[in-house]
Structure 1
Amino acid sequence: MAHAILLSMTIVSTATLIVMGALSIFAGLWRGKPRVDMSLAGSDHDAVFIFRGEALIDSSDGAQKLLATLRDPAQPAPRNGGWAVLQPYLKQHFAELETALSTLADKGQCELKSQTNSGLVLSARYHKGLTQLRLSDTNAEGALLAIDRLSFDAVQSELTTLRALSRNTPALVWKTDAEGQVVWANAAYIRALQEDSAQSGELCWPLPHLFDMAARDNVGRLELRRNDGTRWFAHSEARCEDKILHFALPIDAAVQSEASRRETLQTLTRTFASLPIGLALFDSERRLQVFNPALVDLTGMAPLFLAARPSFEQVLYTLREKRMLPEPKDFQNWRREIIEMEKAAEDGVYAEEWCLDGGRTFHVTGRPQPNGAIALFIEDVTTETALTRSFRAEIETMQKVIDGLGDAVAVFSRAGQTLLANDPYVRLWEVNPCVDLGDGGLTQALGLWSETCEPTTLWARLAEFVTRAEVSEEIKGSVAMRGGNTFAIKATRLPGGAVMIVFRALAQAVVTSPRTERALQAELINGPDLARQESEAARAVPAPERPRAEMSPRKPRSAVHSSTRMRV
């Protein structure tokens, strides 16, 4: 009996299991594909986003907080909703984001882990045109992050400040990952991209490169070519964990100033090269920094020696060896003169002429320069010196000739200034206007003449003649001095408007003493009659004899002349 009951129970149990298995298989086949959960369930600690295309249609509380943190309140809301804000953040942590999302519709779901060791995991699902992104922080599982209100406000304030700094700074700032992709950029960088004609269309992440980093020069400058010109930036970079922060500061004004300075320097260099004056510029340590070809031509110093930046003393020693310095009497005095020459050049008062062997003459000038430098100028004035000496000798000769004239001569300019007066003029009027610093020119001379001579209208005519060029080319007249002497005056106009006035003494009566007059009369009476003396030729040819009766004795005769002398 018991055996039969056990057997029946076994049969019933087996049948029940078979029926349940069949029902399970049938139910699985009838249900088809498993249902994809596209809700926000389980989003207490995860940030869940649901997109239709690039439009955000739903998000969890954590997702909304993340978007609020990432979005800049000062910037307008992006056209494609939260995807434009979320994508740069996800690209920083998931380098394969774009590849995974492009194949998500075929695969249905995928999972990405952050390459930055931040513990972030991104789970993506696609179903019927909807994309669910779930961002989980594996490092925060089972942990609760607590922050007080003051700390939160401080973090928010600092975040606001950093955002304002990034948004308003004129410098271009961007961040690149290990592969060189631009994963973050400030507003100035994005504006520069938008202004770049080569970047057509809407910008997307990763952002394109604005600069060619391989084209940096040796001083770290970047060049940005535009249709309206070329812009220059000073580039620097700083490592930020496994990424690199780049900074580009505009330096257009500095580059333009440098280009202008370079052009000015080239102009000065060409000018110095064409100068006939030798130039040597010494720095504050008295090392030669700049010289021109004229210095080599004048002094004969080798260009290689000058290019080696010799000292001030070495240059002077070389000049002495080449006999381009005046030979000193002793070496110690010459050393002292070098030191004095350097000090005088520092004060800007050194100027000297070097008379060299062979007749050459150098005019050397020392001038102070900024920062303690001095410039030495060497000019060959041999021709000028010889010409000056010739002119000086000619002037001295002409002055001697004028001084040797018996007439008193004075020359006045059109303005009435005294230009010349010879020695007879100085003796006549007892004044030398050429050495008198207080000389009043023609006005003073006319006053002196009118006081010394008898009244005449000639002085007024002379004043008009000197100051007015349209008057006749010369005037003549005579004046009598109060002492009795009489002078003929002639004023002649010279080239350039100057006027020469000549004072010539007229003939004076001869005044002799009675004793002298009697001696002259006796000499004339007792002296031989020159008219009756026979010449040598007359003695050689005998004259025919005349009858004595025809000859009669000569009677004495006398004649009184204006000079009171008597001839017999």
Structure 2
Amino acid sequence: MSGSDGTQSAPDDGSADDGTRPAASRGYLRKPIWTSSFAGSSALIVAPDLAFAAEAIPLPFGWALSSIDVVGGATVIGAVSAALLSAIWLIREKAKIEAENVELKVRLGDATTQIDRYDALIVDKDRRIIVWDGDDNSAVLLGDLPTEAGAPETRAAFLAFGRWLEAKSAALLENAVDLLRARGETFDVVIETQRGQLLEAQGRVSGGRAFVRFLALGDLRAELASLKAERDRLATTMETIQNVLDAIDQPFWVRQADGRLLWVNSAYAHAVEAVDGEDAVRRELELIGTHQRERIRMAATPDRPFADKLSTVVRGNRTIYDVVEARSTMGVAGMASDISDVEAVREELARTLRSHSETLDHLATAVAIFDREQRLQFYNQAFQKLFGLETPFLETRPGNAEFLERLRVDGKLPEQHSWRDWKDQMLAVYQSVEPQQNFWYLPDGRTLNVFATAHPQGGATWVFENLTEQVDLEQRYNTLVKVQGETIDHLAEAVCVFGADGRLKLSNPAFRVLWGIGEAEAQPGTHISTITRVCEPAYPEDDGWRNFSAIITSLDEERRSYSGRFDLKTGLILDYAVVPLPNAQTMLTFVNVTDGARVEKALTEKNDALRKADALKNDFVKHVSYELRTPLTNIIGFADLLRTETTGPLNPKQAEYVEHIATSSSVLLMIVNDILDLATVDAGIMTLERSEIDIAELLDEAASLMSDRLKEGDLTLAVDAPAHPGTFVADRQRVRQILSKLLSNAANFAPEGSQIQLRCRREAGDIVFSVSDQGPGIPAHMLQTIFSRFESHGSGGRRRGAGLGLSIVDSFVSLHDGRVEVDSVEGRGTTIICRLPAGSRLETVAAE
């Protein structure tokens, strides 16, 4: 249909062009409008040009037309023709457009119906969809969620998930949406609103668009989702608990119902020396022993968990655990706390308390401890003994006030004018910060120093110190000081005491008289320099009071005693002593030894003279011994020569005399040899030629040497030695002499027909020789001198020698670093024991 302005108007079908129509349709409707306009414009342009043709054109019937009229008519005819052609074309196009419009309307209706059908299928009250087109941040929301879910209606509020979702769900959804739009990762999650409602969110990608669909779950699905969320929460909680348990240092374990390990923490794995918890579970490593696990299994019930202390070995060390294990129908969970240190501290505390109790119980000072209820908690024996209280009364744990009342009734407390005030004053210690001290003067004459100290946690400790003896001692001390003062004043020795500052503390009259000091100079407080000046004229320049002054006023940490003697110019000889006293004091004592020194000098001179005489005697004996050996050797030689047949026969009398000469000469030679041996020992020039000695051969040799001597006295020798005594290292000749002297001494005193015993044994690395006889024994007063030289002991001996035998034995045994012992009882015989080191060195030792 054409408008008044020559344009084609849109069909009035009730639909407006809201931009939803196809672009081709809109272009088609505008084309006729453009054509019509173009035709009109051409006519307007041509008409003015025709106006300039003024020439007329003749026509039939007498009509004459000018050129202008022809042009005008042609123009009109052209215009009408063009209009007709345009109208015909427009009519045909209109019919075609109307047909297309009808078809489009049909299609639009079908599409609208289909969209409504899809909207009905997709969008309902329990579902909402968010659509993002590509990277465009604008989103389209479709559908609605239930009101009880608490989801906002507006798009901006709905997309702010943190405002209406629980924080964890909001964070989960935002992260899932970001991954969906950025990477196309789909998701299906269950989220929870702030009102506690559960929703299912599904993310998908299709055609370059991202869709997120929110579904309100039904009862069964909601319950399933709730259970799933609860399971997730429980799994998260369990994981958190396991992480916490894995971080603690106490072993923790979970067991199945059959007792097999299900899970253990790192502390458990470390205790059983496993790599980790899984390794401990796989290898079924147990922390607690089988017997103790059985005990736990028998004791633990669902209503009453097991809790007790158990001991086990962890990594090689004995460990005490405080074990708690709870049991349920599904399994068992347990934890062990290492209380080894706590138990050690508890035991140490118990030992300390016992030690303190024992210590306090052995103290002579009475101690009583009251608890916070002021009842007796501890007392020692001194406390019970001090007040004479019965054990049954003390075991009832009487209160402090009751204890005081009991002492008052027994008359063991000081008499007080106001008993109540005094008792309240004594018991005020429980509210006092500072300790209290009081003196109790008991009716029986005893004096007690009472200390009461409150405890920070309550209670108090009472200490009763019996000062009776101390007071008595003080009185006695004061008396003693007076007595000592009087004693010092009456001593014959001069005594004075100086302090660390060098000032005089006390002195006696003998000191003033000895040094000629007046009472003014001897007053306490006088400095030693003053006394030095007074006494200086009496002593030599290099001795005396200058040295005393240096000793007394020195600052040496080690204070020592000094003593000595000096001669005064006055002719007196004094012995002095410097003695350090407590409190850095020093005492000087002086004794006049003039007469004693003179006597000592005379005795010393006499002793020197005696020593010189003894030396002359020894020299004389030594020289005479040497001089005697030559003629004795000649006599012995000629006597032996006379006994041989070469010199001719001797009559019996001559033979007897020659025999006596030979015997006497041998004895004399033995004496001379003994004297020479002792002289050699005294001179320190005797040497030992050590060698390995066969003990059996030595004993046989000693027995053979004594055979003639034993026959003279009708004696027998019994040798007692092991079957194989072995060897030892010593000087063979000297040991033979030792045994010979011992056997000779025994043979000299043994009764006729008796037996002499020679024993040998080993004791602790020593060779012990002993010789016993049945003689008269040695008197007790002579035992100290039996080893002295030229001393003949005892009586009744067959031969009286020079008294050198035992002296030589003692000297030779000492040279071998041994010792000699004598066991003798008068009337029961004598045993002499020689202990010689077995030795292992072959060397020469000189006598000292």
TM-score, normalising length from structure 2?
Answer: 0.32
Structure of higher RCO (CA pairs closer than 8 Å, 6+ residues apart): 1
The normalised TM-score by structure 1 is 0.45
Q: Which protein shows a greater Rg? A: 2
